[in-house]
Amino acid sequence: MPAFLAKRLATLIATLVATSIIVFLVLEILPGDPALLVLGIDASPEQLAVFRSQYGLDRPLLDRYLGWIGDLLVGDFGISYAYKTPVWPLIAERLALTYPLAISAMLLTVLLALSLGVFAAARHNRPADVIVMAISQLGISIPNFWFGLLLILLFAVNLGWLSAGGFPGWSDPGAALQSLILPSIALAAVQAAILARITRSSVLEVLREDFVRTARAKGLSRNAVLWRHVLRNALIPVITIIGLQFGNLLAGAIVVEQVFSLPGLGRLIFQAISNRDIEVVKAAVVLLAFTVVVVNFIVDVLYAVIDPRLKVHDV
């Protein structure tokens, strides 16, 4: 197990280093001068030179990258060009919304997908299976931002049950959680549809194994076999997709936050791109990438917990 974890940890670090290089280079070669965007076209050459010197924009590219990475390692995310304040407090404030939104959408995705996938597999080729697959196909076809608009029209405008957007803050937890209901559903719909189909296929494959017939012959009920034995053996491909989907949910949250007027990390990134606030964009993107990589590292560990053979063969 230690060797297994060490190998996965080395992969995690290498992925983060590669990601940081790509993010830094892509954002640095974008057209536009941050000094001109912040100070305006009427700024004098002296003012522009002072700004570039203050933020290190006049240094060689390699020096800027190494300095940026060194600062990140000690928790210094830099200074925002637009806000003139440290980047980390800006991001931390927005993460307090974006992370709960993505996590709640992930929980809803897993709950719906496992329930519907196992339900459909247990009724293979029956009307219930056809209906679940038809609904999942519809869910895959609907963009989450458009589904979010439909949810607003139904539950906020027509029924008046929930708010159409905005976030009251965590000082009122009840209202805060209520404001995340519709965005979470909008985010989870597509991912749950995908995961439900994968769960169904994986469960159907396991149902054909000999141990399932043996378990039924020993007198175990159909539900006991499905949920205690079949599902566990079918989880490997399902968990793989869950790890990938968390990254999709974070990316989707950026768009859904705009639809529901949520002051999360997505809105901050959009504003930072508009203002050419590169320090904010770099820190936010690297932090999102770090989150996705860590989630996939946890998925790798779960593989070994669910199937000990993976530790033995060290795959």
CA distances from 45 to 49, 51, 273 (A): 6, 10, 24
Does position 61 have pLDDT exceeding 90, yes or no? no
Residue 310 has a pLDDT of 55
Q: CB-side exposure of 102: number of CA atoms within 13 Å?
A: 27
Is 248 domain-assigned? Answer: yes
Residue 270 has a pLDDT of 82
Residue 315 has a pLDDT of 47
Contact predicate 77/91, CB 8 Å:
yes
Is 82 domain-assigned? Answer: no
Q: What is the mean pLDDT of residues 42-53?
A: 79
Per the listing, tokens 């189909």 go with 197
Does position 255 have pLDDT exceeding 80, yes or no? yes
Is 58 domain-assigned? Answer: yes
Tell me: do 147 and 50 sit in the same domain.
Answer: no
- The number of domains in the chain is 2
Q: What is the mean pLDDT of the chain?
A: 83
Tell me: do 96 and 31 sit in the same domain.
Answer: no
- Pure H helices in 152-277: 173-179, 181-207, 210-217, 222-224, 231-259, 265-274
* Percent of the residues in the chain that have a pLDDT greater than 70, as a whole number: 93
Tell me: do 131 and 23 sit in the same domain.
Answer: no
Task: Round to whole Å and give the CA distance between 264 and 276.
Answer: 18
The region of weakest confidence among 59-63, 209-213, 280-284 is 209-213
Tell me: do 61 and 209 sit in the same domain.
Answer: no
Does position 210 have pLDDT exceeding 90, yes or no? no
Give residue 166's Cα distance to chain centre.
21
Is 34 domain-assigned? Answer: yes
Q: Which residue has the higher pLDDT, 292 or 229?
A: 292
Does position 30 have pLDDT exceeding 80, yes or no? no
Q: Which of 43, 73, 103 is the last residue of a domain?
A: 73
Task: Round to whole Å and give the CA distance between 243 and 185.
Answer: 19
Does position 43 have pLDDT exceeding 80, yes or no? no
Residue 185 has a pLDDT of 92
Tell me whether residue 205 is exposed, middle or buried, using C-beta atoms within 10 angstroms of its C-beta: 0 to 12, 13 to 18, 19 or more: middle
Tell me: do 69 and 186 sit in the same domain.
Answer: no
pTM: 0.81
**Number of other residues whose CB lies within 10 A of the CB of residue 226:** 21
Query: What is the domain range of residue 134?
Result: 88-313
CATH (domain of 187): 1.10.3720.10
Does position 38 have pLDDT exceeding 50, yes or no? yes
Q: Which of 49, 73, 97 is the last residue of a domain?
A: 73
For residue range 176-197, what is the model confidence (pLDDT) as tens digits? Answer: 888 889 999 999 988 899 999 9
Give which of 127, 294, 105 is closest to 186, Cα–Cα. Answer: 105
Is 83 domain-assigned? Answer: no
Tell me: do 126 and 20 sit in the same domain.
Answer: no
Give which of 190, 291, 297 is closest to 250, Cα–Cα. Answer: 291
Q: Which residue has the higher pLDDT, 108 or 78?
A: 108
Residue 311 has a pLDDT of 52
Tell me: do 153 and 284 sit in the same domain.
Answer: yes
For residue range 66-82, what is the model confidence (pLDDT) as tens digits? Answer: 888 888 888 888 888 87
The region of weakest confidence among 32-41, 60-69, 154-163, 183-192 is 32-41
Tell me: do 282 and 209 sit in the same domain.
Answer: yes
Task: Round to whole Å and give the CA distance between 15 and 191.
Answer: 24
Tell me: do 67 and 157 sit in the same domain.
Answer: no
